[in-house]
């Protein structure tokens, strides 16, 4: 009897230690099917650090425990971490605080203000499109160099040359000066 209790205690400890490294960072929901970590899911799913979310015919809403909400459009794919979403294809709407970022095509999109909302789209031809709905979004390269500050109602597109290093950047655009700040 004592031996059975010892075995049960050891198995219980092993199971609790195995699940300790898999802490949920949020939930995903879809009206239809989505894929989470290669599993087809209808309705809701629990998200973990490094979860891959893919949408087909339905959009998916990702709600993170830190208060960030992301809506992935149809035919989108991204890898979710506690502090960022790496968007490989498609379009995502981000409603987040300044501590979350969205990465795509080697660029980083970060809300500049609390409760900012914007869209990030990966288009054909290595083009990334960033639009701000409310608040502003900063777009930086992998070294943290600010490439654009996207204000509400504005859309900025970035095109990467085929085979180019995402760290290399050259840009053409319009610079404006408003209220003592260059945009």
Kindly report, residue by residue over 16-38, the tens digit of the pLDDT: 334 444 799 999 999 999 999 99
pTM for this prediction: 0.78
Q: Is 16 helix (H, G, I), strand (E, B) or coil?
A: helix
Reported as type and span, the H/E element at residue 7 is helix 2-20
The residue with tokens 């840009």 is: 171
CB of 112 closer than 8 Å to CB of 120: no
Place of tokens 């960033």: 130
Answer yes or no: are the C-beta atoms of 110 and 140 closer than 8 Å.
yes
**What are 106-146's pLDDT values in tens digits?**
999 999 888 889 999 999 878 899 999 998 899 998 888 89
Q: In the numeric block, which tokens belong to residue 170?
A: 């050259």
Residue of 138 and 97 predicted with greater confidence: 138
């Amino acid at each position: 009897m004592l031996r059975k209790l010892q075995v049960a205690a050891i198995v219980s400890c092993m199971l609790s230690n195995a699940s300790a490294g898999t802490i949920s960072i949020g939930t995903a929901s879809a009206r239809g099917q989505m894929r989470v970590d290669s599993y087809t899911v209808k309705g809701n799913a629990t998200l973990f650090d490094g979860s891959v979310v893919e949408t087909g015919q339905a959009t998916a809403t990702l709600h993170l425990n830190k208060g960030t909400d992301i809506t992935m459009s149809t035919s989108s794919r991204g890898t979710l971490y506690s502090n960022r979403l790496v968007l490989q294809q498609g379009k995502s709407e981000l409603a987040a605080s300044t501590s979350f970022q969205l990465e795509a095509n080697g660029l980083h999109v970060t809300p500049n203000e609390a409760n900012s909302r914007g869209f990030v789209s990966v288009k054909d031809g290595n083009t990334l499109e960033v639009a701000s709905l409310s608040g502003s979004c900063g777009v930086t390269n992998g070294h943290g160099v600010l490439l654009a500050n996207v204000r509400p109602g504005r859309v900025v597109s970035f095109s990467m040359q085929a085979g180019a290093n995402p760290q290399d950047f050259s840009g053409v655009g319009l610079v404006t000066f408003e209220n003592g700040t260059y945009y």
